[in-house]
Amino acid sequence: MSSLSLNDALKSLNAVNTALAPTAADGSARASLEDQRDQLIGFIAGKIDVKVTIGKDGRATLAAGANGSMSLLSNSGPSLVSLVPAADGRLSLQVSTNGAIAPLPAAGGTLAGLVDLSQTIADRRSALDGLAADFTSMVNTWSAAGKDANGNAGANLISTPAGATSMQTLADGSEPRARRRRLGHAERQSPRARRGPRVEQGRGSLVGSGFRQCADAVLGQGRIRPPRRNGAIPALPRSTK
């Protein structure tokens, strides 16, 4: 059962429904099918909150717990649930019924926890990108206020086109090798210019001590605690096929 996805479970429950309809109400085969039905319903309810209706013939119909009018399993068959990523990494649930696609609200289950976690991470990433932009502007403004060995205004020391990801690259010291060679050559050619290049070469430690402190403040010391709903653990694959 643990290897099933939500859609697999809905399809299996639909097959059990089909088998239940013609089965005698007091037979052992009916009892076995009802056990399978209940296990599948329990599995589905762990993935997403659902409203369950059991008919007189033993067949189950399911609707979204947050919207009872949105069918997940009816007498005509199961719907298809998908987990859709946005450009910023946020996840959302969609349901497809007879070719019609609609947003699927979820208030409980592991999939709801995964959606919540993706939103939290996207918010933190956006905050870090803003912090990287502010930090870059501050350092480059400071550099422009000074003069290099030739009397020219200081050049930009940091470029972060990818936001916090670029800042992490600088902090790790993974500066392009050709750029490091140019800086070293400038130092050897002009001792008077050493102050400029040394600021450039030392910017990894500057970023490390400055940006990381700010980032820790934004991230709460780097610990992101995933939200849980009804005991949900949002450590799931991104696919619900």
pLDDT tens, position by position, 114-168? 999 999 999 998 888 888 888 888 888 888 888 888 888 888 888 877 777 776 6
Query: Is residue 32 in some structural domain?
Result: yes
Query: Is residue 11 in some structural domain?
Result: yes
pLDDT tens per residue, range 21-61: 887 677 788 889 999 999 999 999 999 999 999 998 899 99
Query: Is residue 73 in some structural domain?
Result: yes
The enclosing H or E element of 110 equals helix 110-144
Please tell me the distance from the alpha carbon of residue 175 to that of residue 197, in angstroms, as a whole number.
14
Please tell me the distance from the alpha carbon of residue 121 to that of residue 25, in angstroms, as a whole number.
50
- pLDDT value for 172: 60
Q: What is the mean pLDDT of residues 193-216?
A: 49
- Is the domain of 50 the same as that of 134? no
Please tell me the distance from the alpha carbon of residue 1 to that of residue 70, in angstroms, as a whole number.
25
Query: Is residue 58 in some structural domain?
Result: yes
- Is the domain of 79 the same as that of 33? yes
- pLDDT value for 200: 41
Please tell me the distance from the alpha carbon of residue 223 to that of residue 206, in angstroms, as a whole number.
23
Residue closest to 45 by CA, chosen among 28, 60, 62: 62
Range of the domain at 173: 117-219
pLDDT-derived band of residue 234, with 50, 70 and 90 as boundaries? very low
Query: Is residue 159 in some structural domain?
Result: yes
- Is the domain of 180 the same as that of 202? yes
Please tell me the distance from the alpha carbon of residue 25 to that of residue 131, in angstroms, as a whole number.
65
Using the Cα atoms of residue 194, residue 200, residue 204 and residue 207 in order, give the sign of their dihedral: positive
Q: What is the mean pLDDT of residues 90-113?
A: 92
Residue type, 112: A
Q: pTM above the 0.85 mark?
A: no
- Is the domain of 140 the same as that of 122? yes
**Count of domains for the chain:** 2
